[in-house]
Amino acid sequence: MDTNQLEQNFDAKLARNESIEPKDWMPDNYRKHLIRQISQHAHSEIVGMLPEGNWITRAPSLRRKMVLLAKVQDEGGHGLYLYSAAETLNISREELIDQLLTGKAKYSSIFNYPSLTWADIGAIGWLVDGAAIMNQVMLQRTSYGPYARAMVRICKEESFHQRQGYEIMTVLAKGTAEQKAMAQDALNRWWWPSLMMFGPPDEKSPNTANAIKWKIKRETNDELRQKFVNQTFPQADIIGLKLPDPDLKWNESKGGFDFGTPNWEEFYNIIAGNGPCNKARISARTKAHNEGAWVREAANAYAEKKKAVLA
């Protein structure tokens, strides 16, 4: 079959909403786009463990500590599902990790903000996981089979993540004046970065057109962002917190909220490596990777020895 025909088959498959599987022919750019997106997603899960990991030892009760540990462990698992999905596109785990540690691959810019107080753990679960879920629910129908299947598993696990965060916020918001102020402060700091998680506005997003054409994404950045604002407003309202946006108001004609513009300059600046925690995050990952080297070496030596015994 010539390339033209293969390409036609590929397009026809997408048109029929059939998933593309690892051994199917696919255009080079589709493969590249997926490797970039899936690995970026995997790295975000792994780096995302750091701001929350920061609070595991200081969780205010044993219950909260158990929950946070389980949540952070899930995120590690999500990273592994996604690395496996990326590997089906012919890139090795070593290469993927190397790209993260050398800064060649990106991860979600939100994890470059510090988690300053216990309320941040509430805000992260509620807003950051909430925004991630919105994106991931859509990705359950993404055109690449292994990615879609990983998303189905991830979405099942995510629902407790958002609830545990919202529960923390609820308790703080109902607590003393200081506790409520702490919750509001965390919301103020995490709100705009959460909106940025959906990516730049559609007209400035270089990858959106292809992602939609290839059915990798089914909704655009702006559509998802709008949904997120609509969904989050009543959640804040019910627990007596205020979204920190003076332009936020209900727009009857579109059946949704109008809202202000995130500070995109800040967003691009963080992506360029200049966020408050970029350096700390990558050095923590590099340290973990290097300090784990002996485990991989020992496992290798063990596998070699076993092979020798069997031979």
Partner 1 sequence: MAQDNQGMLWEVFIQTKPGQPHRHCGSVHGHDRELALQNARDVYTRRNEGTNLWVVPSNLIVASSPEDIGPFFEPANDKVYRHPTFYTIPEGITHM
CA distance 264 to 84: 32
Binder of partner 1 out of 8, 11, 12, 21 (CB under 8 A):
21
Q: Which residues on adjacent β-strands are paired with residue 152?
A: none
CA–CA distance, 51 with 67 (Å, rounded to integer): 15
- By the rule CB under 5 A, 161 interacts with Fe ion: yes
Closest CA to 100 of 222, 254, 281: 281
**C-alpha of 53 from chain center:** 16
Residue closer to partner 1 by CB (options 91, 110) is 91
Which residues, 81 to 140, sit near Fe ion by CB under 5 A?
Answer: 129
In this structure, what are the phi and psi dihedrals at residue 258, rounded to the nearest 5 degrees? -85, 145
Q: Does residue 283 bind partner 1 (CB under 8 A)?
A: no
Q: Which of 63, 93, 242, 279 binds partner 1 (CB under 8 A)?
A: 93
How many residues would you count in the chain?
311
Question: Contacting Fe ion (CB under 5 A), which of 13, 41, 78, 217?
Answer: 78
Q: Which parts of the chain fold into alpha helices (H)? A: 3-15, 28-47, 49-53, 62-87, 93-101, 118-123, 129-139, 145-173, 177-196, 208-213, 221-238, 264-269, 278-291, 293-310
Please tell me whether residue 7 binds partner 1 under the rule CB under 8 A. no
Residue 242 site contact among partner 1, Fe ion, none (CB < 5 to 8 Å, cut-off depends on kind): none
Binding map of partner 1 across residues 150-179, x = CB under 8 A, - = no contact:
x--x---x----------------------
Per CB under 5 A, residues contacting Fe ion are: 45, 75, 78, 129, 158, 161
Per CB under 8 A, residues contacting partner 1 are: 1, 21, 23-25, 73-74, 77, 80-81, 84-85, 87-88, 92-95, 98, 146, 149-150, 153, 157, 293, 296-297, 299-300, 302-303, 306
